[in-house]
Amino acid sequence: MKTYASFSKQEMLDELLRVKSLYREYGDLHLSLDLTRGKPSPEQLDLSNGLLCPDLDDGFLLDGVDVRNYGVLGGLPSTRKLFADILQVKPDNIFVGGNASLQLMYDLIAKAYTHGLKNSKRPWSQEKTIKFLCPSPGYDRHFHLSLSFNMELIPVALEKDGPNMEQIRELVAAPSVKGIWCVPKFSNPEGITYSEAVCLELARLRPAAPDFALMWDNAYCIHSVFEDESIPNILELCRENGNEDMPYMFMSTSKVTFAGNGIAVFASSEGNVDYIKRLTGYQTIGYSKVNEYLHVKFLKDRENAVKHMQKHAAILRPKFEAVLSRLEKEIAPLDIAHWSKPNGGYFISFYAMPHTAARIVELCNKVGLKLTPAGATYPYNTDPYDSNIRIAPSYPSLKDVELATDVLCVCIRYATLEKLLS
Amino acid sequence: MKTYASFSKQEMLDELLRVKSLYREYGDLHLSLDLTRGKPSPEQLDLSNGLLCPDLDDGFLLDGVDVRNYGVLGGLPSTRKLFADILQVKPDNIFVGGNASLQLMYDLIAKAYTHGLKNSKRPWSQEKTIKFLCPSPGYDRHFHLSLSFNMELIPVALEKDGPNMEQIRELVAAPSVKGIWCVPKFSNPEGITYSEAVCLELARLRPAAPDFALMWDNAYCIHSVFEDESIPNILELCRENGNEDMPYMFMSTSKVTFAGNGIAVFASSEGNVDYIKRLTGYQTIGYSKVNEYLHVKFLKDRENAVKHMQKHAAILRPKFEAVLSRLEKEIAPLDIAHWSKPNGGYFISFYAMPHTAARIVELCNKVGLKLTPAGATYPYNTDPYDSNIRIAPSYPSLKDVELATDVLCVCIRYATLEKLLS
């Protein structure tokens, strides 16, 4: 196989004819495939069916508390211990709340606006401008959350070992820069893990804003698919470097047990946990302790949780392999694109030839393959190169992932040839 | 038995000696009793143990949706139908979210501050002053929620048929008055139900603020203990009177199934529901659909839910009777106090001789009976007469309620005699 760059114009035209004919064949199949969102598959969800219907011999008591009644905000001792173990922090650093970590992130930002964070001089609603750093490509919901508060988003290059620290150090000198969105492990969508050096540099930042928030979305902390990767304990690193109140680490069990019916937690300094707990005391009498109880009984401890995640990995692995092997076979020899080969998380990040991503997504949609819109992984939905496509292979069946990737490969070739011929 | 008013000074002194001796006897018992919060008892919670462990033949499908996975914000069709039936509104008026109605109320107010409500000219955080009307005595958590946003609370007299409408009509002429807290049925702590006339007058209000929020906390909508009482459909009344976007009705199943693990909903105009749903889309991918599924399977429909509530009533009734019969026998003849005789809800509201409530609570605490702090039912914790005490008989066992009321009666006599002799 020759690379497209070495094709003559006539060879390209001939190839486009072949590709169009393949594309039409897929069109005739009236497919309905979806590689858009990082959702667990039904098989993965089945792994946690035992979550409901626990052995009820203990009469709904956890730590001596009847979990069916009111009270205990921020997590029962056993729940805080379980998540402290999973995140490798201390139980006093843990705040347990709600069914989704996105909600905890939103509520933290909302409280920053209405009341201010612990070290804020005034509520963010009383500031003229709030800016947030966005390592990109990144998680679209982080960006949309920020935009919903009219924040100004500042893209920062995300490199193989984490965000570009030179850029960040310069940017945090402005007091209007109030935080940064990080997915430090198996990042969404790149699948990269921040290096120790980058984590240390983040911990050593000296932001002008005293209430600068290091939003550390540890969504994939125990979510390896191939090999595990490790990140330093950011709470400890920041404390050692005089930034104890800077990091807020988030996780949930949405991709461990049931999506949207998990336990969400954040870990931060004891001071931050106390401060947020006090404010949350006006918001709720408590989150669902029944769900805490079910999760503590089901997941037990870190070791057991990690073992449970290996069952997820066994289901996810062939799907990742199906995408990667097809890209390797169909696209790599043409030398027209590159993509991530992540060890964990939920995504493969694909970089098409510049200015073809939107067209590839359009071509896929037309024959019944839904993809995350091109640009969605960038602030303001704007990929400067129109190149990145996020591939989420977790939800469809293996057969559908295979077929979907075949379709995708044809659409990549189609759009690339169009571009080369234009 | 003579009334205290007809006692001579010497008779009062003799009576105080007798009462002090009774009080000491209770002190010797080293009691640990609690009439503070409106919590369901373990027996009531047992009524819903079947909530977990449902028949799983349907493979976790509700309305064709796998409730274990992400998606569907604001409630599945079956959940919205169930709560529309219970609240006697339309499913399109229902927003299902979270485990606690307090959180929905908080989130609504928080969004008013950060983004504004549907008809706001600007976010409330950009207004100089926000005032809220507080029919009093009322629910302490409503008042504290408002105070946490630095609102100015304006007490409004709560009468037998609802809040004083003359006061309210005058107050809403100020554009800074942005809302009112109402518990329209079996109100906390009075146990009164708003009359049709009051509801109509509320619906006909012409507040200066275009985004005035009628916070309609229908916490006790199906929570009769003796006889049911009915309120008009406030959504309909408001719509008919040109105030479609004014009311936000709240309820949860915290006192139907499990406290803090219920389903919380609000009902409002379709426009408001759409507006809040759009903003909530940045906050969460969805609330727990597993809990929706469990509740829909368990409660089934309004009729079945009401039947379930009759089992609660059967447990609550003897406890209310124990308090009421003791007050009737021990306190009524002395003509020193009055109290509510509610048909439902969770509280008995007791009015001691002015300027004795705090002392009564203090005396009770000293011999091991915890009561809600005097004044807690008023804005700023300030009961102008230091008279109101909220009695919550639901949680302790019947025997404990009986003993606690005996203690309370002695403390009432003690504090009243002290006051009369002072």
Give the pLDDT confidence of B169-225 residue by residue, as tens digits: 999 999 999 999 999 999 999 999 999 999 999 999 999 999 999 999 999 999 999
pLDDT at B57: 79
Q: What average pLDDT does the structure give for chain A?
A: 97
Mean pLDDT of B86-114: 97
Q: How confident is the model at residue A58 (pLDDT cuts 50, 70, 90)?
A: confident
The 8 Å CB, 24+ separation contacts for A375-380 are: A376/A140, A377/A136, A377/A137, A377/A138, A377/A139, A377/A140, A377/A188, A377/A189, A377/A349, A378/A136, A378/A137, A378/A138, A378/A143, A378/A155, A379/A134, A379/A136, A379/A143, A379/A147, A379/A153, A379/A154, A379/A155, A380/A143, A380/A147, A380/A153
Name the minimum distance, in Å, from the CA of A333 to any CA of chain B.
37
- C-alpha to C-alpha distance for B133 and B391, rounded to whole angstroms: 24
pTM score, two decimals? 0.96
Q: What average pLDDT does the structure give for chain B?
A: 97
- C-alpha to C-alpha distance for A413 and A419, rounded to whole angstroms: 10
DSSP 3-state assignment of B135? strand
pLDDT at A222: 97
Query: Is-contact A134 A182, C-beta < 8 A?
Result: no
- C-alpha to C-alpha distance for A79 and A262, rounded to whole angstroms: 12
pLDDT at B310: 98
Nearest residue, CB atoms, B288 vs list A144, A261, A289: A261
What residues of B are in contact with residue A122 (Cβ under 8 Å)?
A: none
Give the pLDDT confidence of A189-206 residue by residue, as tens digits: 999 999 999 999 999 999
Among chain B residues, CA nearest to A145: B282
Give the pLDDT confidence of A142-169 residue by residue, as tens digits: 999 999 999 999 999 999 999 999 999 9
Name the minimum distance, in Å, from the CA of B67 to any CA of chain A.
9
The residue assigned the tokens 């919550």 is B392
DSSP 3-state assignment of A42? helix
Query: Is-contact B198 B158, C-beta < 8 A?
Result: no
Give the pLDDT confidence of A265-275 residue by residue, as tens digits: 999 999 999 99
Alpha helices (H) along B300-382: 302-326, 357-366
Name the minimum distance, in Å, from the CA of B365 to any CA of chain A.
21
Among chain B residues, CA nearest to A284: B103
Neighbours of B12 (CB within 10 A): 16
Handedness of CA A20, A21, A22, A23 (dihedral sign): positive
Name the minimum distance, in Å, from the CA of B327 to any CA of chain A.
28
The count of CB pairs under 8 A between chains A and B is: 156
The residue assigned the tokens 């991918």 is B285
- C-alpha to C-alpha distance for A310 and A87, rounded to whole angstroms: 17
**pLDDT higher than 90, residue A56:** no
Give the pLDDT confidence of B281-296 residue by residue, as tens digits: 999 999 999 999 999 9
pLDDT at B79: 98
Query: What share of chain A has pLDDT > 70, as a percent?
Result: 100
Phi, psi (degrees; rounded to nearest 5) at A163: -70, 155
Alpha helices (H) along A249-356: 270-280, 289-299, 302-326
Q: How confident is the model at residue A54 (pLDDT cuts 50, 70, 90)?
A: confident
Structure token digits, residue B251:
């309820």
Q: How confident is the model at residue B367 (pLDDT cuts 50, 70, 90)?
A: very high
pLDDT at A55: 80
Structure token digits, residue B363:
């005396």
Give the pLDDT confidence of B143-184 residue by residue, as tens digits: 999 999 999 999 999 999 999 999 999 999 999 999 999 999
What residues of A are in contact with residue B141 (Cβ under 8 Å)?
A: 282, 285
Q: How confident is the model at residue B43 (pLDDT cuts 50, 70, 90)?
A: very high
- C-alpha to C-alpha distance for B317 and B315, rounded to whole angstroms: 6
Mean pLDDT of A212-217: 98
Beta-strand pair B33-34/A388-391: unpaired
Return the residue in A288, A292, A295 with the most chain B beta carbons within 10 A, the one to mutate for interface testing. A288
pLDDT at A281: 97
Mean pLDDT of B96-112: 97
ipTM above 0.90 for this complex: yes
Q: Is the peptide bond before A189 cis (omega within 30 degrees of 0)?
A: yes
**pLDDT higher than 80, residue B1:** no
Return the residue in B109, B290, B295 with the most chain A beta carbons within 10 A, the one to mutate for interface testing. B290
What residues of B are in contact with residue A49 (Cβ under 8 Å)?
A: 56, 60
Give the pLDDT confidence of A262-318 residue by residue, as tens digits: 999 999 999 999 999 999 999 999 999 999 999 999 999 999 999 999 999 999 999
Nearest residue, CB atoms, A102 vs list B49, B285, B288: B285
b/e map B147-181, b = 16+ CB within 10 Å:
bbbebebbbbebeeebbebeebeebbeebebbbbb
What residues of A are in contact with residue B67 (Cβ under 8 Å)?
A: 258, 261
With an 8 Å Cβ cutoff, are A69 and B45 in contact?
A: yes
